[in-house]
Chains A and B, each alone.
Chain A
Amino acid sequence: MEYDVLVIGGGIAGMESAINLGEAGYKVLLVEKEPSIGGKMILLSKVFPTLDCASCISTPKMAETAHHPNITTMTYSEVMEVKRNGSGFNAKILKKPKYVNESACTGCQDCERACPVNVKYDEFNFDLVGRKAVFIPFPQAIPKVAVIDIDNCILCGACERACPASAIDFTQVPEEIEVNVRSVIVATGFKLFPAERKPQYGFGKFKNVINAMQMDRLLAPTRPFNTVLRPSDGKEAENIAYVLCTGSRDRTVGNPLCSQICCMYSIKQAQLILGALPLADVTLYYMDIRAFGKGYEEFYKQTRDMGVQFIKGRVAKIEERENGNLILRYEDIENGGRVQETEHDLVVLSVGLLPTPEITSIFKEEKLELDDYYYVKQVDEDLSPARTSIEGVFVAGTAYGPKDIPDTILSAGAASSEATAYMETTRRQK
Chain B
Amino acid sequence: MTVGNKENEEFAPSILVFSTDSISDPGIDLAGSSHLAYPSTVSVISLPCSSGIKPKWILHAIEKGFDGVFIAADGTDCPFLPDCTTRTAKIADTAQSLLKEKGYDPQRVKMGAICSVCAEPFANHMRNFFNALQKIGPAKKGGGKDGI
For A44-57 the 0/1 string (1 means CB < 8 A from B) is 00000011110111
CA distance A221 to B117 in the complex (A): 6
Contacts of B22 in A (CB 8 A): 56, 59-60
CA distance A57 to B22 in the complex (A): 9
Q: Tally A residues with Cβ within 8 Å of B.
A: 17
Contact of B115 with A226 in the complex, beta carbons under 8 Å: no
Contact of A221 with B120 in the complex, beta carbons under 8 Å: yes
A140 interface residue (CB < 8 Å to B): yes
**A139-B34, A222-B30 given as contacts; is B120 within 8 A of A55 (CB)?**
no
Name the distance in Å between A21's Cβ and chain B's nearest Cβ: 22
Name the distance in Å between A274's Cβ and chain B's nearest Cβ: 17
A220 interface residue (CB < 8 Å to B): yes
Contact of A52 with B121 in the complex, beta carbons under 8 Å: no
B111 interface residue (CB < 8 Å to A): no
B76 interface residue (CB < 8 Å to A): yes
Contacts of B76 in A (CB 8 A): 50-52
Closest A residue to B121 by beta carbon equals A221
Contacts of B49 in A (CB 8 A): none
Name the distance in Å between A109's Cβ and chain B's nearest Cβ: 7
B146 interface residue (CB < 8 Å to A): no
Interface secondary structure of A, over-half rule:
loop
B112-132 interface (Cβ within 8 A of A): 115-121
Closest B residue to A144 by beta carbon equals B33
B52 interface residue (CB < 8 Å to A): no
B55 interface residue (CB < 8 Å to A): no
B79 interface residue (CB < 8 Å to A): yes
Contact of A222 with B79 in the complex, beta carbons under 8 Å: no
CA distance A53 to B26 in the complex (A): 12
Contacts of A55 in B (CB 8 A): 26, 115-117
Name the distance in Å between B111's Cβ and chain A's nearest Cβ: 17
Contacts of A139 in B (CB 8 A): 30, 33-34, 117, 119
B80-136 interface (Cβ within 8 A of A): 115-121
**A60-B22, A60-B79, A226-B120 given as contacts; is B115 within 8 A of A53 (CB)?**
yes
B23 interface residue (CB < 8 Å to A): yes
Name the distance in Å between B1's Cβ and chain A's nearest Cβ: 25
Name the distance in Å between A197's Cβ and chain B's nearest Cβ: 32
Contact of A52 with B117 in the complex, beta carbons under 8 Å: no
CA distance A226 to B36 in the complex (A): 13
Contacts of B33 in A (CB 8 A): 107, 109, 139
Set A50, A59, A109: member contacting B116, Cβ < 8 A: A59
B63 interface residue (CB < 8 Å to A): no
Contact of A53 with B30 in the complex, beta carbons under 8 Å: no
For A17-60 the 0/1 string (1 means CB < 8 A from B) is 00000000000000000000000000000000011110111011
For A220-237 the 0/1 string (1 means CB < 8 A from B) is 111000100000000000
Contact of B117 with A53 in the complex, beta carbons under 8 Å: yes
Contacts of A53 in B (CB 8 A): 77, 115-118
A87-112 interface (Cβ within 8 A of B): 107, 109
Closest B residue to A50 by beta carbon equals B76
CA distance A52 to B22 in the complex (A): 14
Contact of B120 with A56 in the complex, beta carbons under 8 Å: no
Closest B residue to A53 by beta carbon equals B115
Set B23, B26, B120: member contacting A140, Cβ < 8 A: B26
For B7-46 the 0/1 string (1 means CB < 8 A from A) is 0000000000000001100110010011000000000000
Contact of A140 with B77 in the complex, beta carbons under 8 Å: no
Name the distance in Å between A376's Cβ and chain B's nearest Cβ: 32
Which A residues lie at the B interface, using CB under 8 A? 50-53, 55-57, 59-60, 107, 109, 139-140, 220-222, 226
Which B residues lie at the A interface, using CB under 8 A? 22-23, 26-27, 30, 33-34, 76-77, 79, 115-121
A-B contact pairs, 20 of them (CB 8 A): A50-B76, A51-B76, A52-B76, A53-B115, A55-B117, A56-B26, A56-B115, A56-B117, A59-B116, A60-B79, A109-B33, A139-B30, A139-B117, A139-B119, A220-B117, A221-B115, A221-B117, A221-B119, A222-B30, A222-B119
Not counting A55-B26, A56-B116, A59-B22, a sample of 10 additional A-B residue pairs whose C-beta atoms are within 8 angstroms of each other reads A50-B76, A53-B115, A53-B117, A55-B115, A56-B22, A56-B23, A56-B26, A56-B77, A139-B30, A221-B27
